[in-house]
Each structure stands twice: as structure tokens, then as C-alpha cells.
Amino acid sequence: MTEVEKPVERPEEEIEEEEEETVGRSKPKRETKVPERLKPDESSSSSRDTKFTIPEGKGTALRNIPNIVKLFEKVKNTDAEVKLCYKACFKREGKDINRKQHLKQFNGVTDPEKEVKRRVDHICKNITSAKNVAKLFDCTPEHKDREALVDAIVQFLLKPKASGKALPSPKTKKVKAKRKTKKTSTKKASKPKKEEGAPKRPLSSYFYFVQEQRDRVKLKYPAMGVQEIAKKISERWRRLDDNDKKPYEKKAKKDRERYEVEKEEWKKKKDSGKAKAKPDKKPAKKKVESDDDDSDDESEKPKKTNKKAAEEKSKSKKKKEEEEEKDEDEDEDE
């Protein structure tokens, strides 16, 4: 049997000394390195701290030119022409909040003329942009080509001043008078009244069928209304064959013949009554022409001859006959 080694007992003083030494020898903490992309840029912070300063020029401030103030009221900070004007004055686009505010304080550039012309030539690449900038600065020249517009803008930027031109008065919108629309009545046009003594117009075969079937349908379907009864009769009419429709067509034919005979008799009576009522017109006496000069100057009114009156009567009769025939055709269609 091997003897187990007993641990050597150490004094408490030694143990306390070793612990103090280990505490004193503790490792130093590592410094946390911040990545470069998260480090604050000194240049940007310095640029934020420095406020935007407007250079002092030799001309008058734009806020003191009334025409330009009125033109600025019509545009917004975000408009393209405002951005171009700001770039021409301050060499940058600026912020949307204070473009117009800075432009109103502008009173001229401090750069040399060549540099200003180069900048304006670069900004106003086409004639439309040059026109818009010149219009907003109220310095449009007489000749509106691109070169003339660029030169006018450059001279204005070097020394802004009022053009002395009167602004065109705002165009008033012409209020168009409302047209009175005629109210179209939904009611059907009333048919012309029948003349006294005129014969009764003929009925169609369908109407003879309706007269026969109306009472039968009412007895069979007492709860039905007028429109429902009419629909029911029309359905029955559609189901009929040509042979079944023949008796109704015969009745309609007889009624048509009766109407034509009565119509001719009525027309004869009508014409005879008119002839009796109208008195015979006496022929107009011819005026005797006098030899005096005064009688030649008097103007005589033309009178209608008997032939013209007869022609007008015949025309009016034909029109009436045509209207009556149209009415008859409409009734047949119904």
C-alpha cells in the first residue's frame, strides 16, 4: 500500500500576500477602436458651423426691385428657373427652404466677368433656360437669341438694377355667359286634333285581336294590371300561326276599305263647303295713267292674280292630304 501524501499546510499570512500580488498584477483593459467610417468628419463639422454668407456686390438688392419681387411671388423654391438663378448667383443649387430668401438679398457677384460668363454659359445650355433666367431677373433684351440673353444675364449679375419696364397686367379670365339650355319635355308630342266630321281611322288586325282577348284575360287573371294584361295578349298574338291570324286580317281589310270610302266622301263635302263660303272676287280695276309727272312718281303695290291664289290653294290641299296619310300610317303601325 502506497502512502497518500498529505498536503503541506501553508500559513495564512503567505496566502494573503499572494492574493494581493495577483490583484496588483491584473491585465490592463483593451481600448475599443472606432472604425474610420463612423468617425466624425472634421471638415463637414466645420462647414456646418460656418454659415452661408452672401457676397456684397455693387448693385441694388433684388428685394428693392419691385418687378423682381412680383416675379418671385409667382414661382416656388423648387422650380427649375429658381435653381438656375441661384446657381448663377452663388455657384451652387442651395436648399429648397431658403433659395428665394437668399436671392432677394443678392446685390451682385464679386467674380471677374469672364468667370461669370463661363458659368452662365454652362448653366443656360439651351435658349429656353436662358429665357427663363432672364425673365425672372427682368433683363430680357430685344433680340432674344441665346448669346444676347447670356450677355444680358451676365451684365445683370455684375451689377443688378431695375429695368424700368412695366410688368404686363395679369390676364383676366373671360367668364363665358352660360347658355340657356331649353328644357326638353319628356312628354310625347301631342298629335294634331282630328277635324270635325272626319271618318274614324281603321284598326289593325292586332287591335281586333286585343278587343277579343281583353275580357277573356281579365276573367282568367283578375289580379293582373293593365300592363300585365297587355303583355299577356301580345304573347298570345305571337303564338298564333298565319292561318289563325287570317280572320283578324280580313276584319282589318274591310275596315280599311270603309275608311277610304268615307274619307273620299268627307273630302268632297269639305271642298264644296269651302267653295260656298268663299265669295267671288271682283277683278281689280286698272288705273288710268295720267300724263302728269306727279302720277308717274307714285308707287303701286302688286296684287295677286286669281291664278296665283288657285295655285296656293292646291298646294295647301296637297299638304293637308299628306299629313292625313301620315297619321293613318302611324295608326296602322300602332
Residue 103: partners with Cβ closer than 8 Å, 6 or more residues away: 62, 72, 82, 85, 86, 89
Sign of CA dihedral 244, 245, 251, 254: negative
- 68 and 149 share a domain? yes
What digits encode the pLDDT tens for the residues 301-325?
444 456 667 777 777 777 777 777 6
Establish if 221 belongs to a structural domain: yes
CA distance 96 to 12: 78
What is the DSSP annotation of 86-102? HHHHHSS---SSSHHHH
pLDDT at 291: 46
Same domain, 153 and 212: no
CA dist., res. 260 & res. 270, Å (int) = 15
Question: 239 is written with which cell numbers?
Answer: 303564338
CA distance 100 to 82: 8
In a domain, 231, yes or no: yes
Is the residue at 264 inside a domain? yes
Place of cell 270610302: 261
pLDDT score at 49? 42
CB contact at 8 A, 102 and 53: no
Q: Return the exposure string of 202-227: e unless at least 16 CB atoms fall within 10 Å of the residue's CB, then b.
A: bbbbbbbbbeebeeebeeeeeeeeee
Give, for 142, the enclosing helix (H) or strand (E). Answer: none
pTM of the model as a whole:
0.39
**How far apart (Å, rounded) are the C-alpha atoms in residues 201 and 256?**
8
State the greatest distance between any 2 C-alpha atoms of the chain, in Å, as a whole number: 191
Is residue 11 situated within a structural domain?
no
Q: Which of 33-37, 103-107, 123-127 has the least mean pLDDT?
A: 33-37
The domain boundary, picked from 140, 158, 176, lies at 158
Query: Residue 75 carries which DSSP code?
Result: S
- Residue spans of alpha helices (H) in 58-160: 66-73, 80-90, 99-105, 113-123, 127-136, 146-158
212 belongs to a structural domain: yes
In this structure, are 212 and 138 located in the same domain?
Answer: no
DSSP of 267-328 = HHHHHHHHHHHSPPPPPPPPPPPPSSHHHHHS-------HHHHHHHHHHHHHHHHHHHHHHH
Whether residue 151 has pLDDT greater than 60: yes
Lowest-pLDDT range, 64-68, 93-97, 237-241, 291-295? Answer: 291-295
Domain-located, residue 301: no
Q: Are residues 152 and 71 in the same domain?
A: yes
Q: Per-residue pLDDT tens for 223-235?
A: 888 889 899 889 9
Number of structural domains, the chain?
2
The pLDDT of residue 216 is: 87
Residue 192 covered by a domain: no
> 63: which 3 cell numbers?
428685394
Regarding whether 226 and 150 lie in a shared domain, the answer is no
Which three cell numbers, joined as nine digits, stand for 115?
468667370
Least confident residue range of 45-59, 180-194, 255-269 = 180-194
Dihedral sign for Cα atoms in the order 108, 147, 133, 139: positive
Q: Does the pLDDT value for residue 39 go beyond 70?
A: no
Give the per-residue pLDDT at 53: 83
* Higher-scoring residue by pLDDT: 48, 104: 104
Domain CATH for 214? 1.10.30
209 shares a domain with 130: no
pLDDT for 47 equals 45
Q: What are the counts of helices (DSSP H) followed by strands (DSSP E) for the chain?
A: 13, 0
| Complete DSSP assignment for 168-187 | PPPPPPP-PPPP-------S
Q: Residues 306, 311, 312, 317: is their CA dihedral positive or negative?
A: positive
pLDDT at 48: 47
Domain span including residue 267: 205-273
* Assigned domain for 269 exists: yes
Can you give the pLDDT at residue 296? 47
Question: Do 147 and 76 contact (CB within 8 A), yes or no?
Answer: no
Q: For the chain, what is the radius of gyration of the CA atoms?
A: 55
Q: How many residues in total does the chain contain?
A: 334
Confidence label for 164 from pLDDT (cuts 50, 70 and 90): confident
Q: Which of 195-199, 297-301, 303-307 is the most confident on average?
A: 195-199
Mean pLDDT for 15-27 is 57
Q: Inform me whether the pLDDT recorded for 182 exceeds 70.
A: no
- pLDDT, mean of residues 91-97: 85
